[in-house]
């Protein structure tokens, strides 16, 4: 390896260390940190974030990247230069103080959001959200002063995504979901749900988490489960990935499918080629690709009829008596029931995209300046009434339910719906050679893991996102695989 | 505030951030990190440790310190300069690569030690300990090439401590403890212990931990409890202190007194003057002073007859039936029984100093080069035979029991015994104005906390250690308060 690439690797390793430190600190803050610990964390994070920024954004790095572009010999080296250059280009226009202040703002806003959600008091959180929106608008101008600020952020999370494409994507989904939901409401066969809301002891729920992680194939030596307000996945490095869940005493399936979802994210991170460790091209690619894996494992595996038949005796063993008199088909229908609900993370597959659509429209309006933060709760509630036909009783079950905006993520939500669509297409393509019904009914996910490792996971950010989407899907992206899947599944499930 | 002091504060705040990050990462690694996570952690820690080193050791910092010494106006500013200068002087001679490599070595050695302890296989750990000993010897030469390398480390942990003073201190303790222990063996009234070894359900043990933390006065918003192989305390900042415990199914008192001990450390850190936050003078002073607080709360509070009388009904409530037929006096005598044992952290007050003496002599010999690592287990076992009269069955219960050497701490152990002696003198002095028997019997530790906050805690490192020892003890240090205390307590307890 030549000297330039050696220097580049040293920079990547240093950047890795700051990424590692900040992820550990974030994870700690979301899982075990005491409530009054935020002030000192914000102080530290501001310094670390500034140091990371200074490592990347300086004339030496600019010169190193220019030299490395010429010196790169392998595909990986070229990709490392490409990814670092992209990060450099993206942030070198943000003044360092502004970047550090934003990190600090986010550190402060998260515990406030937790408090606001607990007390269902949006007014606590509003001043922080106002600053976050303003900061994101201001930052978007640094990236591209002539572009719609919301589109700037869409494009950062899902490279190449435009508002026009997003509008069209959601219109396609709406064209399928709204009539299907109406049809279900009119003449769908009723779904039995009485057995869902009962006392599911915590000890059993923990056993369920462990079983899902085991079936999913997560190595406990490299993946640990924590508890947090809102489930999430974070990777410290390829060999240390953390997922979290949130236990609800009267809802075992919330935890089960949260673990199933986060474990999908974790599998992706854990299966990246070790040759990419500590470089700029390790880690999963876009948010949409990441969500494609989490939602694939949550829904296309976890909620499949075949897998539910495998899960059924496991649940009966862990919770003796709790499912007496409930058939496997009733269990399958219950965990797949489609009904308008308040909470995104507990939404069914069919209405899920409507939850995303609400957030998409609202965050777009916030960043475009057509909606004020103070009017957000009313706007939220109006959209839930319009799209889902339900009344939001309080902000804890409404606008305060998700952590994303408190973390500064605006423009991320559409990726969830895109991820579902990528996943549906990948499963359709893979089902040509893999008999998922037989495999899932036996709890055997190894062939699926092998296929996904081969098509997507191994690459990290070595290849461009659009190439990874094609590799995963087995062809150009087409959202109709997703709408076809939903139509087929729900027509059959509700006997329409 | 003038510009120089502003620049100094910025440096202190940056150093704080690295300290924070490394402490969070350490805490994570000891509590919840998966077993296979060490490689990436070591990579990151090496970078962070090097960055922290570079912040402190460079010509700009040297010049800033020189200017700040002249510019300092307040006691705090002068103390900040003094502490930073001391750190600078201590490490500016260690080559940066050597400093970073040592951090990396320690990161690698800790999980190996965990594994070695689990499998009771010293040979796994030996190559790491050899490197640690060699590194500490080499580092000592950078500090002072003409001084005994062990004394260099003694002095770092407990400023001003010499091998001669330490030898004399342990000789004094030995002169009291050995005959007292012999007397107990000859004619001590037997202590009933049959009720100690029984099944103490984990749920109850967790309740005990919470009660101790509550009685000790730890604010749960600023102090959280975790679980680790070996209990410890770490402070992220003054408003976020973490303690850990280790639950043993058949020994509730191990957990109880571990929490009591670590909570003493935590109280010290949590009660430092907030004006010192993020500066070089926040944080507790020497290890001896820190141990004085932990052992004070563990023993002089937690094992006092008065407090045990308060604890008694609490334990009976948490563990119904477990203490039936056991009197309060029997409980008091059981948690204070003196008998030679294998494990330092579970040793009684009387034999504790003998455990420390073994470690003192062995680590001194290792650093002085008169004992090879390969001969350490045999030497350990021989000293336990000589001082404590017991046979060590395996290395897990012998030389592998403590994490300190794996963490690179050599020269730390004597502080435990010094801390006990400081604490005994402080309690003797405070008992002139505080009626501890009445207070502890009512579970009221507030007046003690107020006194310790006033004498010690508030100062952090604002004052020099020797001044803090005097302030805490109410006069010049005199180890006879400790030996008098032990003699009185054990003569009475064993009816000698």
Q: Is the pLDDT of residue B237 over 80?
A: yes
* pLDDT given at position B90: 78
B47 and A16: CB-CB below 8 Å?
yes
**Nearest CA to B347 among B408, B267, B421, B417?**
B417
Together in a domain, A129 and A196: no
Is the pLDDT reported for residue B1 higher than 80?
no
pLDDT at A72 over 80: yes
Which run of H or E residues covers position B235?
strand B233-237
Residues A104-153: tens digit of each pLDDT = 999 899 999 999 999 999 999 999 999 999 999 999 999 899 999 999 99
B337 and B237 part of one domain = yes
Q: Which residues form the domain of A392?
A: 163-303+333-493
Same domain assignment for residues B112 and B251: no
Please enumerate, as own/partner, the contacts of B438-445 that have beta carbons within 8 Å and a separation of 24 or more: B438/B306, B439/B306, B440/B301, B440/B304, B440/B306, B440/B307, B440/B310, B441/B306, B441/B307, B441/B309, B441/B310, B442/B310, B443/B215, B443/B307, B443/B310, B445/B215, B445/B216, B445/B217, B445/B301
CB atoms within 10 A of CB A313: 11
Q: What is the pLDDT averaged over residues B351-360?
A: 95
Q: Which chain B residue has its CA at the smallest distance from A277's CA? A: B40
Residue A342 lies in a domain: yes
Q: Is B133 among the domain residues? A: yes
SS3 for chain A, per residue? CCHHHHHHHHHHHHHHHHHHHHHHHHHHHHHCCCHHHHHHHHHHHHHHHHHHHHHHCCHHHHHHHHHHHHHCCCHHHHHHHHHHHHHHHHHCCCCHHHHHHHHHHHHHHHHHHHHHHHHCCHHHHHHHHHHHHHHHHHHHHHHCCCCCHHHHHHHHHCCCCCHHHHHHHHHHHHHHHHHHHHHHHHHCCCCCCCCCCCCCCHHHHHHHHHHHHHHHCCCCCCEEEEECCCCCEEEEECCEEEEEECCECCEHHHHHHHHHHHHHHHHHHHCCCHHHCCCCCCCCCCHHHHHHHHHHHHHHHCCCHHHHHHHHHHHHHHCCCCCCCCCHHHHHHHHCCCCCCCCHHHCCHHHHHHHHHHHHHHHHHHHHCCCCHHHHHHHHHHHHHHHHCCCCCCHHHCCCCCCCCCCCCCCCCHHHHHHHHHHHHHHHHHCCCCCHHHHHHCCCCHHHHHHHHHHCHHHCCCCCHHHHHHHHHCCCCCCHHHHHHHHHHHHHHCCC
In the three-class reduction of DSSP (H, G, I as helix; E, B as strand; rest coil), residue B284 is classed as: coil
Shared domain check, A87 and A203 = no
Are A242 and A365 within one domain?
yes
Burial class (CB in 10 A: 0-12, 13-18, 19+), A463: middle
Same domain, A458 and A364: yes
Instruction: Answer yes or no: do B48 and A16 touch at CB < 8 A.
Output: no
**CA-to-CA distance for A240 and B491, rounded, in angstroms?**
54
Whether A17 and B47 lie within 8 Å, measured CB to CB: yes
Residue B155 lies in a domain: no
> Final residue of a domain: which of A111, A146, A181?
A146
Chosen from A236, A243, A263, A269 to mutate, greatest number of chain B CBs within 10 A:
A236
Q: So what's the pLDDT on residue B455?
A: 98
Q: Tell me the per-residue pLDDT of B42-89, one tens digit each, with 9 for 90 and over.
A: 999 999 999 998 999 999 999 999 999 999 999 999 999 999 999 998
Same domain, B171 and B129: no
Instruction: Give pLDDT, residue A178.
Output: 86
pLDDT of residue B238: 98
**For chain A, how many structural domains are there in total?**
2
pLDDT tens per residue, range A236-293: 999 999 999 999 999 999 999 999 999 999 999 999 999 999 999 999 999 999 999 9
In angstroms, the CA B81 to CA B77 distance is 6
The size of the A-B interface in CB pairs under 8 A is 139
CA trace torsion B280, B286, B291, B292 (10° rounding): -110
For chain B, what is the mean pLDDT?
95
**Using N-to-C axis directions, what is the helix angle for A287-295 and A414-430, rounded to 10°?**
60
| Cβ–Cβ below 8 Å for B36 and A237 | no
Alpha carbon of A1: minimum distance to chain B alpha carbons (Å): 20
The catalytic residue among A83, A235, A262, A349 is A262
| pLDDT value at A1 more than 80 | no
Q: Which H, E and C letters describe B449-467, residue by residue?
A: HHHHHHHCHHHCCCCCHHH
Q: Which residues, at least 6 apart from B15, have a Cβ–Cβ distance to it below 8 Å?
A: B52, B55, B56, B280
Residue A424 shares a structural domain with residue A286: yes
Q: Are A134 and A267 found together in one domain?
A: no
**Averaged pLDDT score across all residues of chain A:** 95
| Among the partner residues A20, A36, A237, nearest to B222 by beta-carbon distance | A36
| Residue A280 or residue A100, greater confidence | A280
User: What pTM value is reported for the model?
Assistant: 0.89
Which residues of A touch chain B, with CB atoms under 8 Å apart? Answer: 13-14, 16-18, 20-21, 24-25, 27-28, 31-37, 39-41, 43-48, 51, 219-224, 226, 236-240, 277-278
| Predicted complex ipTM | 0.88
| SS3 (DSSP) at B233 | strand
Neighbour tally for B98: CB within 10 Å:
13
* Cβ contact B41–A31 (<8 Å): no
Q: Check whether B171 has a pLDDT greater than 80.
A: yes
Chain B, nearest residue to A239 by Cα:
B37
pLDDT at position B486? 96
**Binning pLDDT at 50, 70 and 90, where does residue B227 land?**
very high
Contact state of A44 with B17 under an 8 Å Cβ cutoff = yes
With beta carbons under 8 A apart, name residues in chain B contacting A41: 20, 236-237, 240
- Shared domain for A190 and A82, answered yes or no, is no
Q: Does A11 score more than 90 pLDDT?
A: yes
pLDDT of residue B153: 94
Domain for residue A367, yes or no?
yes
Question: Is residue A156 in a domain?
Answer: no
- Does B156 reside within a domain? no
- According to the model, what pLDDT value does residue B129 have? 98
- pLDDT given for residue A187 in this prediction: 95
* Secondary element (H or E) of residue B225: strand B223-227
* pLDDT the model gives residue A199: 97
Does A34 contact B226 at a Cβ distance shorter than 8 Å? Answer: no
- The H or E element spanning position B183 is helix B163-187
Pairing verdict, β A240-245 and B223-227: unpaired
Q: Is the per-residue pLDDT at B96 higher than 90?
A: no
Q: Phi first, then psi: give them for residue A348, nearest 5 degrees.
A: -75, 170
Contact between chains at A278 and B48 (C-beta distance less than 8 A) = no
**B248 three-class SS:** strand
Distance CA(A484)–CA(A425), nearest Å, equals 10
Chosen for mutation from B19, B28, B104, B235 (greatest number of chain A CBs closer than 10 Å) is B28
pLDDT band for position B116 (50/70/90)?
very high
CB atoms within 10 A of CB A186: 8
- Does residue A345 lie in a domain region? yes
Q: Which of B262, B269, B349, B363 is catalytic?
A: B262
| pLDDT score for B230 | 86
CB atoms within 10 A of CB B483: 19
**Mean per-residue pLDDT for A406-431?**
95
Distance of alpha carbon B491 from alpha carbon B181, whole angstroms: 10
Query: What is the pLDDT averaged over residues A208-221?
Result: 98
> Is the domain of B287 the same as that of B413?
yes
The two counts, helices (H) then strands (E), for chain B are 20, 3
Among candidates A21, A34, A221 on the partner chain, residue whose Cβ is nearest the Cβ of B44:
A21
Q: A388 vs A488, which has greater pLDDT?
A: A488
Alpha-carbon gap, residue A79 to A462, rounded angstroms: 6
Judge if A232 and A376 occupy the same domain: yes
DSSP assignments along B113-155, one per residue: HHHHHHHT-HHHHHHHHHHHHHHHHHHHHHH-TTS-HHHHHHH
- φ and ψ at B430, to 5 degrees? -65, -30
Picking from A146, A179, A212, the residue at the C-terminal end of a domain is A146
Q: Give the minimum alpha-carbon distance from B267 to chain A in angstroms, rounded to a whole number.
A: 15
Q: Is A262 a catalytic residue?
A: yes
Sign of the CA dihedral with B185 first, then B189, B191, and B192 last: positive
Whether B425 and B128 have beta carbons less than 8 Å apart is answered as no
CATH number at residue B354: 1.10.1370.30
- Total Cβ atoms within 10 A of residue A430: 20
Interface touch A16/B43, C-beta < 8 Å: yes
HSE, side-chain direction, 13 A CA sphere, residue B458 = 10
Q: pLDDT band at B93, cuts 50/70/90?
A: confident
Nearest to B402, CA basis, from B343, B341, B339, B340: B343
- Asked whether residue B157 is assigned to any structural domain, the reply reads no
* pLDDT at site B103: 86
Q: 3-state class of B247 per DSSP?
A: coil
Centre a 10 Å sphere on the Cβ of residue A95 and count the other Cβ atoms it contains. 12
Distances, alpha carbon B362 to alpha carbons A228, B121, B376, B405, B413, in Å: 45, 19, 8, 11, 11
pLDDT average, residue stretch B412-440? 96
Q: Which of A84, A112, A146 is the last residue of a domain?
A: A146
CB atoms closer than 10 angstroms to residue A90: 15
- Mean pLDDT, residues B368-378 taken together: 98
Q: Is B387 helix (H, G, I), strand (E, B) or coil?
A: helix
**Does B420 have pLDDT greater than 90?**
yes
């Amino acid at each position: 390896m030549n000297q330039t690439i050696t220097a580049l690797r040293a920079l990547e390793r240093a950047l890795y260390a700051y990424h590692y430190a900040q992820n550990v600190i974030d994870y700690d803050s979301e899982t075990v940190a005491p409530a009054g610990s935020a002030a000192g964390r914000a102080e530290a994070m501001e310094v670390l974030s500034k140091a990371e920024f200074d490592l990347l954004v300086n004339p030496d790095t600019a010169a190193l990247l220019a030299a490395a572009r010429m010196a790169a010999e392998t595909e990986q080296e070229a990709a490392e230069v490409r990814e670092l250059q992209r990060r450099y280009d993206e942030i070198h226009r943000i003044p360092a103080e502004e970047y550090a202040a934003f990190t600090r703002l986010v550190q402060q806003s998260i515990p406030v959001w937790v408090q606001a959600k607990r007390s269902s008091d949006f007014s606590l959180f509003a001043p922080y959200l106002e600053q976050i929106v303003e900061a994101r608008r201001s930052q978007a101008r640094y990236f591209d002063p002539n572009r719609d600020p919301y589109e700037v952020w869409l494009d950062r999370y899902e490279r190449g995504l435009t508002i026009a494409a997003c509008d069209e994507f959601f219109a396609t989904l709406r064209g399928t979901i709204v009539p299907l939901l109406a049809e279900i409401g009119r003449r769908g066969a009723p779904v039995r749900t009485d057995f869902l809301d009962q006392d599911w002891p915590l000890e059993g729920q923990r056993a369920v988490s462990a079983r899902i992680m085991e079936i999913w194939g997560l190595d406990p030596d490299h993946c640990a489960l924590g508890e947090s307000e809102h489930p999430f996945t974070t990777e410290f490095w390829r060999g240390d990935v953390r997922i979290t869940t949130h236990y609800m005493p009267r809802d075992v399936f919330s935890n089960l499918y949260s673990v199933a979802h986060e474990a999908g994210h974790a599998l992706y991170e854990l299966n990246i080629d070790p040759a990419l460790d500590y470089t700029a091209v390790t880690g999963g690619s876009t948010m949409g690709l990441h969500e494609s894996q989490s939602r694939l494992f949550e829904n296309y595996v976890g909620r499949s009829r075949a897998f539910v038949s495998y899960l059924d005796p496991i649940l009966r063993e862990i919770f003796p008596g709790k499912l007496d008199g409930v058939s496997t088909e009733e269990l399958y229908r219950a965990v797949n029931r489609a009904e308008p609900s308040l909470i995104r993370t507990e939404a069914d597959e069919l209405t899920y995209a409507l939850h995303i659509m609400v957030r998409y429209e609202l965050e777009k309006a916030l960043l475009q300046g057509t909606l004020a933060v103070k009017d957000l709760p009313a706007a939220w509630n109006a959209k839930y009434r319009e799209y889902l036909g339900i009344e939001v009783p309080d902000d804890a079950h409404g606008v305060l339910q998700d952590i994303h905006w408190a973390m500064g993520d605006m423009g991320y939500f559409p990726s969830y719906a895109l991820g579902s669509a990528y996943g549906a297409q990948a499963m359709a393509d893979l089902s040509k050679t893999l008999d998922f019904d037989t495999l899932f009914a036996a709890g055997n996910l190894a062939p699926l893991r092998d296929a996904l490792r081969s098509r997507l996971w191994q690459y990290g950010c070595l290849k461009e996102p659009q190439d990874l989407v094609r590799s995963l899907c087995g062809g150009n992206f087409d959202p109709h695989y997703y709408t076809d899947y939903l139509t087929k599944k729900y027509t059959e499930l509700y006997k329409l």
